[in-house]
Amino acid sequence: MPELSLLSVSFIAAGYLAAAVFIIGFFWKLWLYAITPSPLKIPLTPAPKTAVGVIGKNIVDIFTFRSLFNSDKRIWLGGYLLHLALLLLFLRHLNFFIETANGFLESIEPWGVYAGFFLPAPLLYLMGLRKAVDRLAYISAMADYFALALLLLTALTGISMKIYVPELVQEANEFTTGLVSLNPVNIPTHPLFLSHFTLALILGFYFPLSKLMHSGGLLFSPTITQTENCREARHVNPWQDKAR
């Protein structure tokens, strides 16, 4: 293993720490969501009366953002395009963390590149909506703008790398696969890669603490996971014994 520079050691340590914070924080939050009682029967009507129906409805909703479409089509457009681009980018970046070639990931890589160049558009669109629409401006907090800005800067540094220093792709692949295989190598020292990787680390630290946790938390919301069977079955408040 080559001798690691101080810069590389710092980024490698930060990379492992960010990964630990993200993974542990993500699943810890999901565990907290899962064990939180639902004292009230509050499904968002009309809702299915069976568990199978709830699962089917949620699958459709997750892949189409149906509730958001019915609520506000302007937000749905930006949100749906943003999440589609992020999905393609996630699949493309998986190639940077595996050493052996994967046919599916290789086939989707061009679409991931297009998604990377497209990503700033829905981000800027959603940021503009939060300023232009009074209702959105009223409920928007600094955390909402921070998450969008963080994703935007990460996208812009990635795009700049792809345009101006495409030869960095191989070096980045060697560095990231080294991290995954626990056989780290020196980090590429180009400022664009260091900026892009730093922003990715910040995103890893920030994710479990932010509203971005809606990606997993939505599956634990009583409004979409409960059946609408109030007349058929009595919903018992899990807190009632403690309240006595």
Q: In the prediction, which pLDDT does 45 show?
A: 82
Let me know: does 79 contact 88? Beta carbons within 8 Å. Answer: no
> What is the residue extent of each domain of the chain?
6-228
pLDDT at residue number 240: 66
Among 92, 65, 62, 91, which Cα is nearest to 76's? 65
Report the C-alpha gap between 6 and 4 in whole angstroms.
7
Among left, alpha and beta (phi > 0; psi -120 to 50; other), residue 141 is: beta
d(C-alpha 92, C-alpha 108), whole Å: 7
CA distance 83 to 63: 10
User: Residue 177 corresponds to which tokens in the numbers above?
Assistant: 């696969």
The model carries a pTM of 0.90
pLDDT value of position 135: 87
pLDDT (0 to 100) of residue 101 = 62
Model pLDDT, residue 31: 95
Q: Is the dihedral of CA 233, 234, 238, 241 positive or negative?
A: negative
pLDDT of amino acid 46: 85
CB atoms within 10 A of CB 192: 19
Structure tokens at 23: 């993974």
Q: Domain 6-228 in CATH: superfamily?
A: Transmembrane di-heme cytochromes, Chain C (1.20.950.20)
**pLDDT one digit per residue (tens) for the chain, 244 residues:** 568 999 999 999 999 999 999 999 999 999 999 988 888 888 888 889 999 999 999 999 999 999 899 989 999 999 999 999 999 999 999 888 887 767 888 888 899 999 999 999 999 999 999 999 888 899 899 999 999 999 999 999 999 999 999 999 889 999 999 999 999 999 999 999 999 999 999 999 999 999 999 988 888 988 899 898 888 887 777 776 665 5
**Is the CB of residue 175 less than 8 Å from the CB of residue 187?**
yes
